[in-house]
């Protein structure tokens, strides 16, 4: 972390040139309000409630570099003699980008503009300007001559190409390749191309996984299957013999340096809505700037990854991460672990003759400390909370429009609510309600003045949920249900065994502290938690699971290593918190309806959360103990 922050600070001294496709992104937000029938055409007009203009393509990369406080950011490119070119140049200049080498070609060239139309939160087909451009050789020569005359001023040159009909003509490609060869050692050359990844040799390449796979197929036309990501990276490195990085979207990035050593960074788990537009540019800008500042490729890839994770949180805009935002993202990231294994059940590996899935579990001695999640791990009192929360979310988002909204829009909001619940499973309810309020405001069916506070949404949800829980508690106290009907199979017996073996046991839940204590007391196992019972105190800044783990870390005796501390849970939050500390993570893929067996819907999120092994329920503990070689009293 210290090295990363040091590198980010040193970026202020870096000098970078960006040569590439300068574009303008125009955003229009459409509304059905205040429309009218055109007198001239008889057609209904479309109202624009708001609009925005941002730099795109190489322009966006340049703005990102300037936002990251690079000492010098010089843009090289071509615009048209039109109002859009003027607007684009103004945006770049205002952001601190030097546009002295942005050329205007008056004939056969229009500024590249992407008109992006949004209605009800969805993007409609774009209208593009500039697809019929034709760059003159004289324009390309002037551009490259300007770059060469200034080459001694730069630590790095970023080459951007994303438009088939931009100025990367055959003539331009030939001359730029010659320029790179001539000045290969004068500065770093870094390319990010959509169509020309095999053209600009002697450069450090940044590709996304789709571009890398497409290029591999193009280079291997004999029908060879695309290898897995690390092998793909290795083969492209062998082909180009230069460092390169392949971004994997939400799953992070992999890279390889001059010496052939591979590096990988996990994707960052993002809760809430995301917009991937501009994420690649955010990665490239931070990655290239870090290299220009003298960073090694491993550190640069991490910085690029965190920059992209900030960018995707900007909805309906490209996003320009700041240095402070990247530092904050890197301070305590929630990573996505083992994404390929999480996405493919066929990749699962089991202890022989068991339902225990091994992901990356080392054989570790018997627990000395054990931390348990509650709902879905031990208790099934709250089984079915997800549909209750989803119903609350949908009604909150739509408000009075619940009965008039289209079926398509209703399905979209149902899916968005389900996605939010999936991503936030295990965290405090109050934080989930903060995300709900953001969704309410984002969809726009409820005015900001009418939207409730997170606490008010939480009360609505809790009232509905506790009505269901109270019914189960009443049947339990009346003897119609017993403890085995309301707990995961083998959970209570395992708690008893751990306590009898001198293990320090903690309960950490995202449910309100008073409620989780009451439920554990009612069900009769509260006394097993000799380390304490922790729940939400209504403060989003105080996560009970993180608090418990940090407390344990601060008090660990010298004879207890982090991997002697076990975390058992059915949610990704406790897995990630434990992974951050090096604790042993056992995910519970519990089927809460029947109390035993596997709920396969839980598997991906637990694997992504960092679980090292998965068990369906605690009846499998003896088999796990045999595999681990536990010595028990």
CATH number at residue 356: 3.40.50.1000
The number of helix segments (H) and strand segments (E) in the chain equals 21, 24
Separation of alpha carbons 36 and 46, rounded Å: 8
**Distance between alpha carbon 359 and the CA centroid of its chain, in Å?**
22
103 Cβ contact partners less than 8 Å away, ≥ 6 residues apart: 77, 78, 79, 139, 142, 143
Same domain membership, residue 433 and residue 556: no
55 three-state secondary structure: strand
Q: What's the pLDDT tens digit per position in 311-329?
A: 998 877 778 999 999 999 9
- 478 in a domain, yes or no? no
- 479 in a domain, yes or no? no
Separation of alpha carbons 17 and 100, rounded Å: 12
| Domain count along the chain | 3
The answer to whether 553 and 583 are in contact (CB under 8 A) is no
Same domain membership, residue 467 and residue 389: yes
Region at 597 (left for phi over 0; alpha for psi -120 to 50; beta for the rest): left
Lowest mean pLDDT among 138-142, 262-266, 376-380, 539-543: 539-543
Same domain membership, residue 258 and residue 213: yes
Same domain membership, residue 313 and residue 273: yes
Question: E-strand spans in 309-433?
Answer: 335-336, 349-350, 357-358, 369-372
Same domain membership, residue 127 and residue 63: yes
Separation of alpha carbons 576 and 337, rounded Å: 9
The answer to whether 364 and 34 are in contact (CB under 8 A) is no
Separation of alpha carbons 499 and 374, rounded Å: 17
pLDDT higher at 179 or 511: 179
- 480 in a domain, yes or no? no
pLDDT higher at 208 or 31: 208
Same domain membership, residue 231 and residue 105: yes
Q: Average of pLDDT values for 381-385? A: 91
Q: What's the pLDDT tens digit per position in 275-291?
A: 888 899 999 999 999 99
Per DSSP bridges, beta strands 335-336 and 267-268 are antiparallel
> What pLDDT is stored for residue 1 in this prediction?
64
pLDDT higher at 85 or 443: 85
Write the DSSP symbol of residue 484. G
- 256 in a domain, yes or no? yes
Q: End of a domain among 413, 442, 473?
A: 473
Element holding 80 (H helix, E strand) = strand 72-80
Same domain membership, residue 374 and residue 390: no
Q: Average of pLDDT values for 341-345? A: 92
Q: What's the pLDDT tens digit per position in 210-243?
A: 999 999 998 888 777 899 999 999 999 999 999 9
Same domain membership, residue 443 and residue 527: no
Same domain membership, residue 261 and residue 196: yes
The tokens of 169 are what?
């003509």
Same domain membership, residue 224 and residue 130: yes
pLDDT higher at 560 or 583: 583
Listed residue (332, 324, 279) closest to 304, CA to CA: 279
**Distance between alpha carbon 151 and the CA centroid of its chain, in Å?**
36
Token pair 């438009």 in the structure block, residue: 163
561 pLDDT tier (thresholds 50, 70, 90): confident
Same domain membership, residue 299 and residue 361: no
Per-state percent for the chain, helix, strand, coil, to nearest 5? 45, 20, 35
Listed residue (63, 121, 113) closest to 93, CA to CA: 63
CATH number at residue 256: 3.40.1190.20
3-state secondary structure 390-410: HHHHHHHHHHHHHHCCCHHHH
- 481 in a domain, yes or no? no
Listed residue (502, 517, 488) closest to 591, CA to CA: 488
Separation of alpha carbons 104 and 86, rounded Å: 10
- 47 in a domain, yes or no? yes
The answer to whether 356 and 623 are in contact (CB under 8 A) is yes
- Whether the pLDDT of residue 7 is over 90: the answer is no
User: C-alpha angle 543/549/555, rounded to 5°?
Assistant: 130
Report which listed range, 112-126, 365-379, 415-429, 550-564, is most confident.
365-379
> What pLDDT is stored for residue 596 in this prediction?
94
> What pLDDT is stored for residue 477 in this prediction?
93
Q: End of a domain among 439, 473, 507?
A: 473
Q: What's the pLDDT tens digit per position in 502-528?
A: 999 999 988 888 999 999 999 999 999
- 447 in a domain, yes or no? yes
Percent pLDDT > 90 in the chain is 75
- Whether the pLDDT of residue 470 is over 80: the answer is yes
> What pLDDT is stored for residue 121 in this prediction?
73
Q: What's the pLDDT tens digit per position in 577-631?
A: 899 889 999 999 999 999 999 999 999 999 999 999 999 999 999 999 999 999 7
233 Cβ contact partners less than 8 Å away, ≥ 6 residues apart: 212, 244, 246, 254, 255, 256, 262
- Determine how many CB atoms are found less than 10 A away from the CB of residue 6: 12
> What pLDDT is stored for residue 97 in this prediction?
98
> What pLDDT is stored for residue 633 in this prediction?
55
Q: End of a domain among 271, 304, 336?
A: 336
Same domain membership, residue 163 and residue 16: yes
> What pLDDT is stored for residue 126 in this prediction?
94
> What pLDDT is stored for residue 510 in this prediction?
84
pLDDT averaged over every residue in the chain: 92
The tokens of 94 are what?
């205002």
The tokens of 339 are what?
């994404």
Lowest mean pLDDT among 66-75, 157-166, 217-226, 404-413: 217-226
> What pLDDT is stored for residue 106 in this prediction?
94
Cα separation of the two ends of the chain: 42
Helix axes 58-67, 83-94, angle to 10 degrees: 20
Q: Average of pLDDT values for 407-434? A: 88
Helix axes 385-398, 407-424, angle to 10 degrees: 130
457 pLDDT tier (thresholds 50, 70, 90): very high
Report which listed range, 43-57, 120-134, 176-190, is most confident.
176-190
- 291 in a domain, yes or no? yes
| Domain ranges, residue 266 | 2-336
């Amino acid at each position: 972390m210290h090295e990363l922050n040091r590198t980010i600070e040193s970026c202020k001294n870096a000098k970078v040139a960006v040569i590439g496709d300068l574009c303008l992104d125009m955003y229009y937000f459409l509304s059905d309000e205040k429309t009218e029938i055109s007198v001239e055409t008889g057609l209904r007009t479309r109202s624009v409630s708001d609009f925005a203009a941002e730099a795109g393509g190489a322009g966006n990369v340049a703005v990102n570099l300037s936002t990251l406080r690079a000492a010098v950011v010089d843009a090289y490119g071509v615009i048209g003699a039109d109002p859009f070119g003027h607007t684009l140049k103004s945006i770049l200049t205002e952001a601190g980008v030097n546009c002295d080498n942005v050329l205007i070609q008056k004939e056969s060239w229009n500024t590249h503009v992407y008109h992006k139309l949004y209605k009800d939160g969805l993007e409609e087909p774009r209208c593009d300007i500039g697809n019929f451009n034709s760059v003159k050789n004289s324009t390309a020569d002037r551009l490259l001559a300007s770059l060469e005359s200034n080459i001694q001023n730069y630590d790095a040159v970023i080459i951007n190409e994303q438009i088939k009909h931009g100025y990367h003509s055959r003539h331009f490609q030939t001359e730029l390749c010659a320029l790179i060869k001539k000045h290969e050692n004068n500065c770093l050359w870094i390319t990010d191309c959509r169509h020309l990844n095999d053209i600009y040799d002697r450069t450090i390449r940044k590709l996304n996984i789709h571009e890398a796979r497409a290029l591999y197929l193009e280079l291997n036309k004999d029908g060879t299957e695309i290898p897995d990501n690390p092998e793909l990276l290795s083969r492209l490195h062998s082909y180009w013999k230069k460092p390169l990085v392949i971004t994997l979207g939400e799953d992070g990035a992999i890279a390889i340096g001059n010496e052939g050593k591979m590096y990988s960074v996990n994707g960052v788990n993002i809760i809430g809505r995301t917009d991937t537009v501009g994420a690649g540019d955010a990665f490239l800008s931070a990655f290239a700037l870090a290299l220009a500042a003298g960073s090694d490729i491993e550190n640069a890839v991490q910085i690029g990854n965190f920059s992209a994770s900030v960018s995707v949180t900007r909805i309906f805009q490209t996003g320009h991460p700041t240095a402070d935002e990247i530092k904050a993202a890197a301070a305590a990231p929630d990573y996505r672990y083992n994404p390929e294994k999480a996405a493919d059940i066929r990749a699962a590996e089991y202890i022989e003759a068991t339902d225990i899935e091994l992901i990356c579990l080392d054989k570790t001695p018997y627990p000395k400390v054990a931390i348990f999640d509650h709902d879905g791990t031990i208790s099934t009192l709250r089984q079915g909370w997800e549909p209750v929360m989803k119903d609350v979310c949908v009604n909150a988002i739509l408000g009075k429009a619940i009965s008039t909204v289209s079926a398509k829009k209703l399905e979209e909001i149902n899916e968005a609510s389900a996605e939010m619940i999936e991503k936030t499973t295990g965290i405090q309810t109050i934080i989930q309600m903060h995300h709900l309020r953001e969704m309410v405001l984002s969809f726009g069916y409820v005015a900001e003045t009418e939207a409730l506070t997170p606490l008010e949404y939480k009360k609505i949800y809790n009232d509905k949920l506790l009505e269901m829980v109270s019914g189960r508690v009443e049947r339990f106290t009346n003897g119609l249900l017993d403890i085995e009907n309301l707990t995961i199979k083998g959970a209570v017996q395992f708690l008893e065994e751990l306590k009898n073996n001198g293990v320090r046991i903690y309960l950490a839940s995202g449910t309100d502290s008073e409620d989780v204590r009451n439920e554990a007391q009612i069900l009769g196992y509260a006394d097993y938690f000799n380390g304490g019972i922790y729940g939400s105190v209504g403060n989003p800044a105080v996560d009970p699971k993180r608090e418990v783990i940090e407390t344990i870390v601060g008090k660990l005796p010298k004879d207890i290593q982090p991997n002697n501390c076990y975390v058992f849970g059915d949610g990704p939050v406790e897995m990630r918190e434990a992974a951050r500390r090096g604790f042993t993570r056992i995910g519970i893929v519990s089927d809460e309806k029947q109390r035993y067996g596997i709920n396969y819907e839980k598997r991906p999120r637990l694997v992504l959360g960092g679980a090292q092994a998965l068990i369906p329920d605690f009846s499998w503990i003896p088999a796990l103990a045999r595999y681990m070689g536990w010595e028990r009293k």
